[in-house]
Amino acid sequence: MKKTIALVAHDNKKADLVEWCDFNKGTLARHTLYATGGTGKKIIDKTGLNVNLLKDGSHGGDMEIGALIVNEKLDYLIFFWDPLEALPHDVDVKALLRIAVLYNVPTACNRATADLIISSPLFQNGQYSRNKCAHEK
């Protein structure tokens, strides 16, 4: 079953996410991908994957992903963020992570967790469907 996955990375983590996408491009190619502008362009250049580009994170891309979540159009969030670097749009980043948790969207904030998600039988067989939270019922 085709899933929708958002791919986001802070500047210091972009190379790691691009490498992860390149390693997993066979699997990722079977799904619908979204990415914030700068991250998505780097993924496309390296992997050739079909990625729907949103605005850069600092220009509203994080909020666009949040809108996908609240409109139930996103199944997974892969967001490699840098805990050591404060950014001017940290409020947007925190809002995105908060909304992902609120809507029970599986979220990977580092490569180890992304590896566990993409290699899970629940992901691989395409039959995983997240439980809706109490506020959604």
Give the C-alpha separation, 55 to 32, whole Å: 17
The closest of 74, 70, 51, 54 to 62, measured between CA atoms, is 54
List, in sequence order, the alpha helices (H) in 57-120: 61-70, 90-102, 111-119
Q: Which domains does the chain have, with CATH numbers?
A: 14-136 (3.40.50.1380)
- Determine which one of 11, 16, 22, 62 is catalytic: 62
Residue-wise pLDDT tens digits, 64-89: 999 999 999 999 999 998 888 776 66
Q: Convert the pLDDT of each residue in 127-137 to its tens digit.
A: 777 776 656 55
Residue 108 exposed, middle or buried by CB count within 10 Å (0-12, 13-18, 19+): buried
- Please write the tens of the pLDDT for every residue from 14-66: 999 999 999 999 999 999 999 999 999 999 999 999 999 999 888 889 999 99
Structure confidence at residue 10 (pLDDT): 87
Mean pLDDT score of the chain: 91
Looking at residue 57, what is its pLDDT?
82
Spatial CA neighbour of 113 closest among 132, 103, 100: 100
Q: Is the pLDDT of residue 6 over 70?
A: yes
The candidate with the shortest Cα–Cα distance to 107, out of 66, 57, 71, is 66
DSSP strands (E only) in the chain = 4-9, 32-35, 51-53, 76-80, 107-108
* Whole-number Å distance between alpha carbons of 41 and 55: 11
Does the annotation count 62 as an active-site position? yes
